[in-house]
A and B are shown apart, each in its own frame.
Chain A
Amino acid sequence: MSIFSLTVIASLLISSIRSATPLVLAALGGIFSERSGVVNIALEGIMLIGAFTAVMISYSSGSAWLGVLAAMAAGVAIAWLHGVVSIKYRADQVVSGTAINILAVGLTEFLLAKFFGQAGQTPNVTPATLPTWLPLHGFTQQVTAFAWIAAVLVVLTHVVLFHTPLGLRIRAVGEHPRAADTVGINVFHMRYLGVLLSGALAGLGGAALSVGLLNSFTDNMTAGRGFIALAAVIFGKWSPFGALAASLLFGFADALQTQAQIIGLKVPSEFLLMSPYILTMLALAGVVGRSTPPAASGTPYEKGER
């Protein structure tokens, strides 16, 4: 089959968008968190918890969308933990994030055993879909409703961050918290906001994976997607559209990998799977456009310190 075949290209595109969707959502979360000055390597764990919660609640309630909302709420709850530990108690944000990632694996396995009485995988649930009368229904069915949600949220995040007073404040807190503090901005509130938003969005990203793409939950199903989302944040230079582009690129690599055989691609799939991580390292090193994080990202803020 030719690589230029229209159907192949179309299926590659759709598959790229499908892979990219959870990444974009979690990456937007990462942007909010990092822009406010809190490194969030817990995206992986939050996604996992979101993925599980979405399935659990849709299974028990019969409503996929209720599951999605619950996933966001669970993401917020777990992010709140990250916030308390790293903002209030000024713990190392990377340590706290690592703890959440370990917690998420254990907790979801535990809850899976407790509520479904089985190990490894949940039963299938009905996916979250949009009403059929909406335009582009066929396309939507293929890329899932979450692709649209992600697209809207990218624009929204951009507007909030760069065109509202709130966004200015969030960014100021991430760059120079003391300066923000002296003009009366509550650094802690802004950071909590950033972290909680990242929880909601990463939870949504997890839901996009479980009730969006796969219709069930499997142990550790995120399998590094949270870290790819983090990579997308960095590769996209902490901007929503940048993260979107990076996610699509990484999604494309994933699509190539899964369809390598159909296309007749000779590159081992492992190298395609590696590419997001390699590209991100290159971006950080300045080989692919310099990527500089917010100045205060990763540093706990202490009010009285001089």
Chain B
Amino acid sequence: MSDRKAKRLFTGSIPLPTFEGFLVPILAVVAALLVGVLFILWVGKDPILAYKALWRVTFGSTRNTLETLVDTVPLIFTGLSVALAFRCGLFNIGGEGQYLVGSLAAAVAGYALPGLPAVVHIPLVLLAGFAAGGLWAALPGWLKARFGIHEVINTIMMNYISLYFVHWLVIAHLKDPTNLSQRTPKILESAVLPNLLQNTRFHLGFFVALLVALGVYFLLWRTIAGYEIRAVGLAPAAAEYGGISVARNIILAMVLSGGLAGLAGAVQVAGISLAYYDGAGFVGYGFNGIAVALLGRNHPAGVLVGALLFGALGRGGVRGMQAIADVPKSMIGVVQAAIIFFIAAEGLFRVLVPRLRQRRQASRGPGPAGGTGGEGAPHSGTATEGGAGR
């Protein structure tokens, strides 16, 4: 990671990304939408019409905006999940599996505990999802902490294990016998996240998501636990030296991260589906959470924005592009992938951005010099921008 990027990302007690930090994600989104234009043209449709349709069904009316926000909710959780793990230097690619186990646990807690008032039952359902996701992620966390095994492979493996395991649990043990479809019994009324607006799906979960985002921010930058998680993420050896248990924080971060992904599932069950439906496949919130975290620069505020974008793309692709403009909804998958590529390869924009900045500076006179080193020797990243390429 280059100095400049690092500085952008981690500015201590004021961790909000700067304008420049926003620039790359914005450029990436614009570039990806342009890629989308090419694909729309390729199938012989009108891109302006298609994007208009996308806008109309997502933000075109209050109702549509609220519906879009509903689709944003699980992505906020999975985005936070990935971002929190990233802050501890961990790549939790297991969101899909944690989502599944979280959903199922929430569903079970939702139908199997009769007689509770909603104020107790709803938190219990959410907690069940959080706990299941957290426990599911604890194993790769522990394997990383104890044996140093990279969490990426283990979380991928556990995605598939959860897929088959949850499937088996549902068909063999938890299936609603009174219903033909492969699902658990419906959750009880007391477990349902209340709907806040008639004729929409807009439910309390949205505000839970906002609250959790705020909580993650607070945790990371205002508490000892967050200081320790970030220290482990940035410099494990230094953290260990500073009396911080690396293993403990790795496991903690994985549990919290998995818990957030599990919470995504719980909120969907308690707010939307009201049962666990076995689809024998991944829902995509986990993988898209990676994109959301990247878009949001691993900052909770950025995650909210990223989730909104991905929520809107998902909704707009099906209800707008496909239904209205007759563009295959799969085109959105291509756009989403393109967004990730463009952010990941931000070096691409690094050619462009300095020029933009130079132009800005030229109109305002010379800016401050970059270097801060005192008697400094060139420490690092010397040839990053320079011509040592070949």
Contacts and interface: CB of A to CB of B under 8 A. Distances in A.
Interface of A: 39, 41, 81, 84-86, 88-92, 94-96, 98-103, 105-110, 113-114, 220, 224, 227, 230-231, 234, 268, 270-271, 273-274, 277-278, 280-281, 284-286, 293, 298, 302-306
Nearest to A39: B152
Nearest to B157: A277
Interface in B322-362: 328, 330-334, 336-338, 340-341, 344-348
A271 B384 contact: no
A106 B383 contact: no
Contacts, number: 154
B290 A90 contact: no
A105 B333 CA distance: 7
B381 interface: yes
6 closest pairs, A vs B, by CB? A106-B333, A304-B383, A103-B337, A109-B330, A91-B344, A99-B340
A285 B328 contact: no
Contacts of A101: 287
A129 B384 CA distance: 51
Nearest to B330: A109
B164 interface: yes
B116 interface: no
A95 B290 contact: yes
A110 B161 contact: no
B14 interface: no
Contacts of B43: 113-114
A279 to B, nearest CB: 9
B333 A103 contact: yes
Contacts of B290: 95, 98
Given A89-B345, A306-B382, A284 B337 contact: no
Given A103-B337, A274-B165, A277-B161, A95 B147 contact: no
Contact of A106 (B334, B344, B389): B334
A108 B165 CA distance: 28
17 contacts: A91-B347, A94-B93, A95-B290, A96-B340, A99-B337, A103-B337, A106-B336, A110-B331, A113-B328, A230-B153, A271-B164, A274-B161, A277-B157, A280-B153, A281-B154, A284-B147, A306-B380
Contacts of B386: 304
B301 interface: no
B84 interface: no
B334 A110 contact: yes
Given A98-B340, A106-B331, 20 more contacts: A89-B344, A94-B152, A99-B337, A102-B340, A107-B337, A109-B330, A110-B328, A113-B330, A220-B281, A224-B163, A230-B153, A234-B153, A270-B164, A270-B167, A273-B164, A274-B164, A281-B143, A284-B143, A284-B149, A304-B382
Contacts of A107: 330, 333-334, 337
B347 A90 contact: yes
A105 B389 CA distance: 35
Contacts of B42: 114
Nearest to B333: A106
Nearest to A98: B290
Given A109-B330, A113-B328, A281-B154, A102 B160 contact: no
B221 interface: no
Given A84-B345, A99-B337, A284-B149, A304 B384 contact: yes
A106 B388 CA distance: 38
A85 B328 contact: no
Given A89-B346, A285-B143, A106 B157 contact: no
A231 B153 CA distance: 8
Interface string B286-303: 011011001000000000
Contacts of A281: 143, 154, 157-158
B334 A103 contact: yes
A99 B337 CA distance: 5
A114 B331 CA distance: 11
Nearest to B172: A268
A277 B149 contact: no
B232 to A, nearest CB: 18
A306 B338 CA distance: 32
Contacts of A90: 347
Contacts of B218: none
Nearest to A293: B150
A86 B168 CA distance: 38
A111 to B, nearest CB: 9
